[in-house]
Amino acid sequence: MKNTKYIILFAALVFTTVSCKKFLNVTPIEAQSGNNFWKSREDVEGFTNGIYARLRSKVAGTPQFFNGDDRAFFPALEIRGNNVQVNSLDNDGSNTFTALSGNNMKFILNNTGRYNSMMKNIMSWKEWYDIIAASNILYFEIDRVPSASLPEADKKRYKAEAVFLRNLSYMFICKLFGDAVYYTEAYHSSPLARISQVTVMNNCIADMTAAKNDLPIIYNDASSNGFRPTRASAVALLMHLNMWAAAWDGAGKTKYYEGVKTLAAELDTYTSYKILPITPENTLKIFKGRSTENLFGILQDFNYGEGFSLPAGFSYYFARYPYQGNVNKTSSAMAYLRDYITKLFPAGTTDARLTNWFENYDAGSGNFQFKKFANVYTTGSGNAITVTSDDSAIVFRLPDCYLLTAEALAELGDDNGAKDFANRVTIAANAPLIIKDGQELKDEIYKERCRELIGEGQFFFDLVRTKRVVNSDFTKSPISVGNLNAGAWTWPLSISAAERSANPNLIGNNFWN
């Protein structure tokens, strides 16, 4: 991902041929794959970079000075159902995000506007299937490359990378929409129906487990660490796949918790990865994306031309100058509700996250300032200076894995083991140790995820996965048990008339459609 010009050029070459056919018929991507293409390591690397370009486009868009291709993927995942208020946001933003925090997806479906369009982009799974189709092609076609150009060990690594990317996509598809169309064959063409998300998760777990050890523990090229998958990245993905499956496979959940326990033991053998104490300096490192606790993310770096659209960053909504906007931006567009944030961080709490990541944390107004995402670049001068976020999108990092492990161990009845893993995170934050047991321990682990991962796009998934989405103690907009079971937790799924005609097996999410 370092050579931006090459990526953009290659992505345009590969994905121009891609876009002419839609997956949802289910017809796959037609990338350049014949004997004239798969000849060298450069061909493989270029095609792989094109898949990452697809991933970045889906969740982050492109800088507005390119084409105004806006995204709000991770912020939307954090704001949905969350305890936030909108202070001021241009265009349709106030209404859209107020509806989102209130779980009022029908309002979003029935309205239009800039921010509304960003929400509707999330309701499309086509781009995820583009990534899956390209990953399947990479896995299949890499064997065409002569071994003199690409040794067998490298072929295995690229195959494992393809497996990671397709399973990451399936994870997001199921977390967003529930049941999914599942396939792993290159150039698959027969129409398929959606199958149970639990089946998809189990397929992904087996698929990733089989390929995991073909990934490196760490890359010799430091620029790849944190942005190309390693074995630790695969462990993190497998933990999420297991915990999501456990949420929906009531009779078999114990095996998934045991799976996470085993994965945690493996992760502990990878000594290159360490959790960092919370300081301003370490915060910058973590959210730039190449620290010892970063496991996988999507690069943003102004210096290399790797930019996101402005609304793709959380600080666009929850920060103000000098962390976001121009010198006249003296108010944050959104803030956490005072009652919620003070439950997470009670007055008088010793917690490095509170002192380093917030300013006026309990203001509940535009005076609120979120400083967690503090990597920025500036343009202009004098009164025309504008500050823009330059943080990467972090998908997996070590504290996330430790807290998932703590959650799994608590569900297995191993309270001491759960506290040991959870307190790895509290110690790094100079926060009080978790000492409770039983259900209180489970609730505290959940709240620790809210504290540690705040702003990172985990909130609604965790709320749904743990079924706390029905409880007003954890969300200001609870979903009833009946509506939860009927699919109110999902995002509406947009399927065009043409796609329905091409694949009669496709159905949307009945609760919304």
The set of residues, in sequence order, having a beta carbon less than 8 Å from that of 485 and lying 6+ positions away, is: none
User: CA torsion sign, 338 to 341 to 346 to 352?
Assistant: negative
Alpha carbons 362 and 347: distance in angstroms, whole number: 9
Amino acid identity, residue 342? T
What H or E segment, with its residue span, contains residue 266? helix 253-267
**3-state secondary structure at position 213:** helix
- Residue 510 tokens read as 């009945």
**3-state secondary structure at position 497:** helix
Mean pLDDT for 332-345 is 96
Identify the band that residue 212 occupies on the pLDDT scale cut at 50, 70 and 90.
very high
Q: Which pLDDT does position 35 carry in this prediction?
A: 55
> In this structure, what is the dihedral angle of CA atoms 389, 391, 396, 398, given to the nearest 10 degrees?
-120
Alpha carbons 461 and 489: distance in angstroms, whole number: 9
Residue 12, pLDDT > 60, answer no
Residue 26, pLDDT > 60, answer no
The set of residues, in sequence order, having a beta carbon less than 8 Å from that of 403 and lying 6+ positions away, is: 421, 422, 425, 445, 448, 449, 452, 453
Identify the band that residue 18 occupies on the pLDDT scale cut at 50, 70 and 90.
very low
Alpha carbons 145 and 69: distance in angstroms, whole number: 35
pLDDT digits (tens, 9 = 90+) for 462-481: 999 999 999 999 999 999 99
What percentage of the chain exceeds 70 in pLDDT?
Answer: 92
pLDDT digits (tens, 9 = 90+) for 215-267: 999 999 999 999 999 999 999 999 999 999 999 998 899 999 999 999 999 99
Mean pLDDT for 16-37 is 43
Q: Which pLDDT does position 9 carry in this prediction?
A: 34
> Angle at Cα 121 formed by Cα 158 and Cα 503, nearest 5°?
75
Identify the band that residue 78 occupies on the pLDDT scale cut at 50, 70 and 90.
very high
**3-state secondary structure at position 414:** coil
pLDDT digits (tens, 9 = 90+) for 492-501: 999 878 778 8
10 Å Cβ neighbour count for 432?
A: 12
Contact yes or no for 67/309 (Cβ under 8 A) = no
Residue 16, pLDDT > 70, answer no
Contact yes or no for 120/108 (Cβ under 8 A) = yes
Residue 162, pLDDT > 90, answer yes
Q: Which of 319, 314, 313, 312 is nearest to 333 (CA)?
A: 319
Q: Which pLDDT does position 36 carry in this prediction?
A: 62
Contact yes or no for 4/66 (Cβ under 8 A) = no
Amino acid identity, residue 427? I
pLDDT digits (tens, 9 = 90+) for 451-460: 999 999 999 9
Q: Which pLDDT does position 60 carry in this prediction?
A: 96
Residue 354, pLDDT > 60, answer yes
- Helices 126-141 and 4-18 cross at an angle (nearest 10°) of 100
Residue 17, pLDDT > 60, answer no
Alpha carbons 186 and 336: distance in angstroms, whole number: 45
Alpha carbons 361 and 369: distance in angstroms, whole number: 7
Identify the band that residue 329 occupies on the pLDDT scale cut at 50, 70 and 90.
very high
Alpha carbons 448 and 452: distance in angstroms, whole number: 6
**3-state secondary structure at position 336:** strand
Residue 11, pLDDT > 60, answer no
* Domain limits, the chain: 302-394
Residue 383, pLDDT > 70, answer yes
Mean pLDDT for 107-111 is 94
Q: Which pLDDT does position 13 carry in this prediction?
A: 37
The set of residues, in sequence order, having a beta carbon less than 8 Å from that of 70 and lying 6+ positions away, is: 61, 64, 114, 117, 118, 309, 310, 311, 312
The lowest-confidence range among 88-92, 287-291, 411-415 is 88-92
Mean pLDDT for 417-442 is 98
- Helices 41-60 and 152-177 cross at an angle (nearest 10°) of 20
Residue 82, pLDDT > 70, answer yes
- Helices 398-411 and 415-428 cross at an angle (nearest 10°) of 160
pLDDT digits (tens, 9 = 90+) for 271-316: 999 999 999 999 999 999 999 999 999 999 998 888 999 999 999 9
Mean pLDDT for 146-174 is 97
pLDDT digits (tens, 9 = 90+) for 165-184: 999 999 999 999 999 999 99
Q: Which pLDDT does position 66 carry in this prediction?
A: 54
